[in-house]
A = this chain, B = another copy of it.
């Protein structure tokens, strides 16, 4: 045992001084003040909210680290199969409040304190010291290390894996600049860099002792010229940087299990490169070192769009190489034979971004560990599994072989060899289907330059491929990957519908609702957050007036919280009339701005409504009559567009122009408001989502793989309007079709509809035609009447790819239904709201992790 290597005396001393977790307010205060006075070198006289946030975070981090150490030591001792979740994005949001909810406190002297109320304890302790918890929490900048759903999914998954005791680490990059902050200036999106580390980050453990060298460029050397690329080769790299580990403790809920999220940052090597000293002057060599850090400087701000930049490929390899090296080092400590690697290690690829890990593992096994090619490849394919997130062509990664081979010459050889063996197998199985080979090849030959199809490489290198909702998992089998289903058979392709963690999206985001649920279910320690099936008991109360009143009151409180936020962001002026909040439908669409997500459909609907209202007034209707037909409603938008995505940015501008006109039109007397909340992020989502009555998930059928904000809204008692797309399908199945407002064409008709548009380009419903004409009239953009022409033209003249015209009428009709139900059958509405929450359990990310564990990873919790 390793113990015996340490002298008895030292061991005794270490044990004696072992750090203990605090479990009382008093001990927390002691630690807090210690951090203020030593780590921060401040005092009670200059301890502001920011310092309090830092000291509180460090104190709680210390507690987590103690459990982190124990968890990791347990894993080392038990040596179970481990899961590594590779994701280029982890959209974590804020950490302190989440830690307060998740962390486990046990005071043997005061067992009541262990009844799951660490947050309350810390709140009281801070209060005694003169700080308000809410103000302290508000100091924390969001860890915006992701673009949208993909990154937030990864964040939910690490929470669930920690909660369930799965021995799992996340691996990602520590971007110095997270997703840009969005400002709205004159209605336009303007991007400002998000230098989120500007005030340090108390939640990370800088692991200077974990520095892994990563190489780029260079050439391949094979000791004996006669051998092939299949034999052990030596890659002589040209550029070398260090990957330094930063660890973020991930506490599970109601467990002392604390998992790890390891993010890599690029740093210059300090080693001296003798090969280069001849041509390197000092100034130049410093500049070269400084460039190293640029690898992890910026998160690429695209969502569902692959941008083929060399630096992006560099990020991907840097991250894959460092993570894999780390994984291999850990495996090698166990001294097991390589054949056992897939029994000990499962690596999940979140989208194709980490596909290079497949190639890197093959390279390490063949070139460095000297395994036979096929033996190595067998290990590789048993280890990896790949999650597909999209069927959209523009989002599928491809790399030109020229660029790729320059950066990673040995990896290109290996990919060619992987492809060669793969195509041989395909040809053997389907000897007559010549066309199949070029369709299925990892190398695309038809484009001007040959390209590597990363999704195909990911499939060939994995033992399982999953989609993220039932519809999507079916779609990939019948469209982009159908040849692979033909070759491998269908069992390689599975579905794991996405989920979200109820700890953040219910307990943290919606404390009032959590409280009501906990009281109603008589579940004071909130076990339902672990076992969401318990929520079905809420169904018993759908006719209970008293309960529905409370339920409604929770929603109202959350609306006030949101209205406060909007007021604050609008320089202290209310946009939304506070008088009738309970009677105002809060209709939301918050997510990345994307044509396929169809915010344009939403805003066209708003314009239609506004014009109709104006028309009624013009035709002599009273405001009461108007209100009857178009009752009080606030349309709230939030979301970022990729900085280079012209059409999406134009949609943002249109929303803001419409808001400007509608919100200032006194004739409609506040019956309709439009709000664009700038800089939508996780913290804002936590305020926006709980306030919704209705939310919009209206992507063109077949385009949204799953969506997860739909689940978040449902979990917070909001109803949804949506197309038959992504997880909307399963939400409908779970909570019942009576409780969801579905509309629009189905995915199986999309191709035909698009085809038809070629021949009937102007065949628009009159409702939409009037909206587009009004936009074309320039009323929303008097200074630049043609401003929104591209949006109009894309529908009128460019084939309406996203089928806005096809779905517009049913969209309007469904909204009419919504209005009537909300305003005239409120108890029915509330019943639907309760049933939504009652049946949302399936969408807990805990369920996802169980499915991944059982069907893909073959791992079990370690308790």
Partner of A13, one of B19, B129, B277: B129
Q: Which residues of B contact A191 (CB under 8 A)?
A: 282, 285
A185 touches B29 (CB 8 A): no
Interface string of A237-267 (1 = CB under 8 A from B): 0000010000100000000000000000001
| A17 interface hit (Cβ, 8 Å) | yes
Q: Which residues of B contact A66 (CB under 8 A)?
A: 37-38
Residues 30-53 of A contacting B (Cβ, < 8 Å): 30, 32-34, 37-45, 48, 50-51
| A69, closest chain B residue (CB) | B43
| A61, closest chain B residue (CB) | B38
> CA A29 – CA B289 in complex, angstroms?
38
Residues 173-218 of A contacting B (Cβ, < 8 Å): 177, 180-181, 183, 185, 190-195, 198-200, 205-209, 211
B65 touches A282 (CB 8 A): no
Q: Would A205 and B41 be within 8 Å (CB), given that A18-B33, A33-B14, A34-B19 are in contact?
A: yes
Q: Which residues of B contact A282 (CB under 8 A)?
A: 180, 191, 193, 301, 643
A277 touches B200 (CB 8 A): no
| A130 interface hit (Cβ, 8 Å) | yes
| A386 interface hit (Cβ, 8 Å) | no
Give the bracket for the number of chain A residues in contact with chain B: 35 or more
A17 touches B33 (CB 8 A): yes
Partner of A195, one of B10, B13, B289, B301: B289
B200 touches A11 (CB 8 A): no
Interface string of A802-817 (1 = CB under 8 A from B): 0000000000000000
| A206, closest chain B residue (CB) | B200
A65 touches B38 (CB 8 A): yes
Q: Which of A18, A50, A268, A270 lies at the interface centre, i.e. has the most chain B CB atoms within 10 A of its CB?
A: A270
Q: Which residues of B contact A192 (CB under 8 A)?
A: 270, 272, 285
Q: Which residues of B contact A533 (CB under 8 A)?
A: none
How far does the Cβ of A133 sit from chain B's closest Cβ, in whole Å?
A: 15
| A274 interface hit (Cβ, 8 Å) | yes
| A570 interface hit (Cβ, 8 Å) | no
> CA A440 – CA B41 in complex, angstroms?
47
A65 touches B50 (CB 8 A): no
> CA A294 – CA B290 in complex, angstroms?
9
> CA A208 – CA B196 in complex, angstroms?
12
Q: Which residues of B contact A277 (CB under 8 A)?
A: 183, 185, 190
Q: Which residues of B contact A267 (CB under 8 A)?
A: 195, 198
How far does the Cβ of A298 sit from chain B's closest Cβ, in whole Å?
A: 6
Interface string of A282-305 (1 = CB under 8 A from B): 110110011000100110010000
> CA A191 – CA B9 in complex, angstroms?
46
| A73 interface hit (Cβ, 8 Å) | yes
A247 touches B41 (CB 8 A): yes
Q: Would A41 and B68 be within 8 Å (CB), given that A192-B272, A294-B290 are in contact?
A: yes
A13 touches B200 (CB 8 A): no
| A128 interface hit (Cβ, 8 Å) | yes
| A73, closest chain B residue (CB) | B43
| A176, closest chain B residue (CB) | B290
How far does the Cβ of A300 sit from chain B's closest Cβ, in whole Å?
A: 10
A14 touches B272 (CB 8 A): no
Q: Would A128 and B38 be within 8 Å (CB), given that A282-B191, A286-B298 are in contact?
A: no
B130 touches A7 (CB 8 A): yes
| A190, closest chain B residue (CB) | B277
| A62 interface hit (Cβ, 8 Å) | yes
> CA A823 – CA B206 in complex, angstroms?
56
| A2 interface hit (Cβ, 8 Å) | yes
| A48, closest chain B residue (CB) | B209
> CA A37 – CA B194 in complex, angstroms?
32
| A6 interface hit (Cβ, 8 Å) | yes
| A571 interface hit (Cβ, 8 Å) | no
Interface string of A154-181 (1 = CB under 8 A from B): 0000000000000000000000010011
> CA A199 – CA B209 in complex, angstroms?
7
How far does the Cβ of A739 sit from chain B's closest Cβ, in whole Å?
A: 41
Residues 73-93 of A contacting B (Cβ, < 8 Å): 73
Q: Which residues of B contact A37 (CB under 8 A)?
A: 18-19, 65-66, 69
| A177, closest chain B residue (CB) | B286
How far does the Cβ of A78 sit from chain B's closest Cβ, in whole Å?
A: 16
A-B contact pairs, 19 of them (CB 8 A): A9-B128, A10-B129, A10-B130, A13-B29, A14-B44, A17-B29, A37-B65, A41-B207, A42-B69, A48-B209, A51-B209, A181-B272, A183-B272, A192-B272, A192-B285, A193-B286, A198-B267, A286-B298, A290-B297
Give 19 A-B pairs besides A10-B129, A38-B61, A192-B272 with Cβ atoms closer than 8 angstroms.
A10-B130, A13-B128, A37-B65, A38-B62, A41-B69, A42-B69, A43-B73, A50-B209, A181-B272, A185-B277, A193-B268, A193-B282, A194-B270, A195-B289, A199-B208, A199-B209, A283-B643, A290-B294, A290-B297
Using CB atoms and an 8 Å cutoff, list the residues of chain A in contact with chain B: 2, 6-7, 9-11, 13-14, 17-19, 29-30, 32-34, 37-45, 48, 50-51, 61-62, 65-66, 68-69, 73, 128-130, 177, 180-181, 183, 185, 190-195, 198-200, 205-209, 211, 242, 247, 267-268, 270, 272, 274, 277, 281-283, 285-286, 289-290, 294, 297-298, 301, 643
Task: Please give me the 9 A-B residue pairs with the lowest Cβ-Cβ distance, nearest first.
Answer: A282-B643, A191-B282, A10-B130, A38-B62, A17-B33, A199-B208, A14-B44, A19-B37, A41-B205
